[in-house]
Structure 1
């Protein structure tokens, strides 16, 4: 999943009330024959370098679907900064699109609203069966033991992208395998006048994704076995402090990045202004911004020590985009046909190639494009060293509350204020107080 900025949890009700009048419903236009509606509305997430890029990728495929089925798809590409609030508004008002992309980490939260169509055995049969999808992708489609509320569309993992020329100029032979190595490399890179590592401190979901991984590497979880938030666990505090400390203590992340939101750190990397980038499946994004594939290398995200793997060697969350159908769609049959089309082998190859992501459909992964070196790190990470974010009903509130806490800590670091264990704990304690009661 890419970046989000949701309203503060305490203000969610107010934001939904204010936004409700601005949300359009699924289309009910009809061809006059008494058949099912011939139009679908589709909210796509911003996967490319811009909304314009996404329209260029998606519109030819939607035209193809219309030619095959006679159903026109009205496309809206929604920025990640707006998508979660738009969806929450739609679940409250009942005025949503027919089909929509959701970040896979939101699946359990949106499942709890009851607004999305469950994908039971009957519905999966309409799109070729559940067995077509890889297990790791299905693991982020809803709460365990319940029918999924979405099907996987794009699978992604985080990797470390590094500028080969900047590394060579600084006398660095290869990418860092541990955070200590990254910090040490950063000193050599700064001596050559370059920024070290990009981050997006105002991007709530990027904040969540990284501190989740750091917590895993510290042997901690944000939620206990009982599903209750555990944000002030000393290991969680240490994990958040280490991540923000890349700016506050290690000076690897530039202070200006505290204000960065969507894709700004990617742009800096593409322009050669920084040496490293932590990002999900970034190749297509970098290419669209004019960076040659020969200019950068791809390596696993660093760990505390050793090499990536399970447990404390986790180095990515299971990233990805799911495709869902609103339960109150005016054209559920057409929406099911659309899901079948988007998850077909041919479309999976086309779309995942365009976005440099990995198909969650097993048979589509056999295409040579997904066995190339650029994708090998991503596939291996998903298979061996990635963990799913908590599939709990309060996951979206978690992203908002803790993501905002990390944003505030980055602001402190950028302003030269100390980021200590006590200040981190205070921010996380405030975030935990914002979580809904169990």
Structure 2
């Protein structure tokens, strides 16, 4: 999903319990067709403003109405409110027909039983499951269960670097390993300019980055049985590596520990930082006045020679589209999902938002042939992994992201960051996880 704060994540367990009894669940036949001419759609804020999203989406919804006779009532919801709204809807059973969800929430919301499972029959109605990139389907629900949503917009993390600053520092090539990144970062750090910008006060950014590092160290933060393993030696090593960019390597500014509103993107765009790890940042950088010719993008580093899961360089980022199981227009809702994930709409919408189509055929469009998007498409297809698809995923995001935030704040204040202090913070996070 795009970077945002998840204010209601710790309420999700209670919502799961409430919704399981309120909505029932199991089979995909809970919806009906008593209102065949109308749909309500909750869209997440993808553009520069809520109004911008309306300007993008309303013409497309009118196309759908012209084709089907179904009128779609649109509401664009800011990320700060979206999860709260969804939780209230799942608990009450009074939700929209179709909605956007951050893809990392898929398994958590799936556990409420409120969303329509996309079984074979449902996928057949929208054109088939094999149209989507495998990695994006993997971020649509728990393993072994029918997905609770389908991918709509996709993103991946890349390492953005300022070509001019690299040239001035005498660095010929972008870093391919973490050792190279730290060494380059030190060459690029001088005065009030730093080698790397991070968004240390942003819980989501923190967890996205340490998850990829965790995979490289051999952990997905859960053990093979699905239980949290937040303070394992592998998790400690991953978190310490990330915090050390500020704490010990000193290639990120102390003030980065407080960044929570895309300030790291601003620092990169204005030349205050030479490198940035971000998900599909091109549109954001352009809005800050940065010329695409001034930077380039490569995959985030991985350990030399890493293969399989240890070669993970990004979480699978993006937005999924779900259908409420108790919709009063099931056929229309599935038809709308088919429309929004059609090749043409995927090209239009992802092209506008600067994201990648999760629909394979749409990626061949010229709009996605820029060097940046080609690099990120390669990451998404080859070295991205979904965050843990478990019911407690939202709590995992909040607790681990907050633990990293606390450690970065300590480092910025001059306090030492050691394996022991990292393990202690991660152990506290694990103790706050609800019982299974």
For the criterion TM > 0.5, the same-fold answer is yes
Deviation at 1:52, TM superposition (A): 4.2
Q: Secondary structure at the match of 1:54?
A: helix
CA distance in 2, matches of 1:198, 1:237: 22
With 206-215 and 75-84 compared, the bigger mean Cα shift is at 75-84
- Match of residue 168 from structure 1: 167
Q: Give TM-score scaled by structure 2 length.
A: 0.89
With 205-214 and 263-272 compared, the bigger mean Cα shift is at 263-272
Map 1:86-105 to 2 at 5 A: 86-105=85-104
Question: Would you say the 8 A contact 1:108–1:141 is kept in 2?
Answer: yes
- Are 1:361 and 2:359 counterparts? yes
Cα gap change, 1:166 to 1:49, in 2 (>3 Å): farther
- Are 1:389 and 2:387 counterparts? yes
Which whole-Å deviations, capped at 9, do the CAs of 1:236-295 have from their partners, x for residues lacking one? 111101101111111222222222224332233223332111111112222233222111
Count of aligned pairs between the two proteins: 421
Deviation at 1:332, TM superposition (A): 2.6
- Match of residue 378 from structure 1: 376
Question: Would you say the 8 A contact 2:188–2:274 is kept in 1?
Answer: yes
Map 1:3-402 to 2 at 5 A: 3-7=3-7, 36=35, 38-191=37-190, 193-306=192-305, 309-402=307-400
Question: Would you say the 8 A contact 2:15–2:90 is kept in 1?
Answer: no
Cα gap change, 1:13 to 1:364, in 2 (>3 Å): closer
Question: Would you say the 8 A contact 1:100–1:323 is kept in 2?
Answer: yes
- Match of residue 28 from structure 1: none
Q: Secondary structure at the match of 2:76?
A: strand
Cα gap change, 1:237 to 1:350, in 2 (>3 Å): same
Which whole-Å deviations, capped at 9, do the CAs of 1:172-218 have from their partners, x for residues lacking one? 22211122222222222222642322222222221111111111111
Question: Would you say the 8 A contact 1:49–1:263 is kept in 2?
Answer: no
With 4-13 and 264-273 compared, the bigger mean Cα shift is at 4-13
CA distance in 2, matches of 1:10, 1:109: 11
Which whole-Å deviations, capped at 9, do the CAs of 1:307-342 have from their partners, x for residues lacking one? x75232211112221100112223333322221111
Cα gap change, 1:59 to 1:284, in 2 (>3 Å): farther
Question: Would you say the 8 A contact 2:133–2:381 is kept in 1?
Answer: no
Deviation at 1:223, TM superposition (A): 0.5
- Match of residue 405 from structure 1: 403
Q: Which runs of 5+ in 2 are unaligned?
A: 17-32
With 122-131 and 145-154 compared, the bigger mean Cα shift is at 122-131
Superposition RMSD on alpha carbons, in Å? 2.4
Deviation at 1:93, TM superposition (A): 2.4
Cα gap change, 1:193 to 1:430, in 2 (>3 Å): closer
Q: Secondary structure at the match of 2:111?
A: helix
CA distance in 2, matches of 1:198, 1:300: 16
CA distance in 2, matches of 1:339, 1:352: 15
Cα gap change, 1:371 to 1:248, in 2 (>3 Å): same
With 425-434 and 50-59 compared, the bigger mean Cα shift is at 50-59
Which whole-Å deviations, capped at 9, do the CAs of 1:359-381 have from their partners, x for residues lacking one? 12122122233344222211221
CA distance in 2, matches of 1:172, 1:39: 58
Q: Secondary structure at the match of 2:81?
A: helix
Cα gap change, 1:279 to 1:9, in 2 (>3 Å): closer
CA distance in 2, matches of 1:198, 1:311: 26
Question: Would you say the 8 A contact 2:199–2:256 is kept in 1?
Answer: yes
Q: Give TM-score scaled by structure 1 length.
A: 0.89
Question: Would you say the 8 A contact 1:9–1:401 is kept in 2?
Answer: no
Cα gap change, 1:350 to 1:297, in 2 (>3 Å): same
Question: Would you say the 8 A contact 2:196–2:274 is kept in 1?
Answer: yes
Deviation at 1:114, TM superposition (A): 0.4
Deviation at 1:142, TM superposition (A): 1.0
CA distance in 1, matches of 2:407, 2:51: 33
CA distance in 1, matches of 2:105, 2:312: 21
Q: Secondary structure at the match of 1:182?
A: helix
CA distance in 1, matches of 2:200, 2:80: 13
Cα gap change, 1:305 to 1:271, in 2 (>3 Å): same
Q: Which runs of 5+ in 1 are unaligned?
A: 17-33
Cα gap change, 1:410 to 1:95, in 2 (>3 Å): farther
Cα gap change, 1:425 to 1:201, in 2 (>3 Å): same
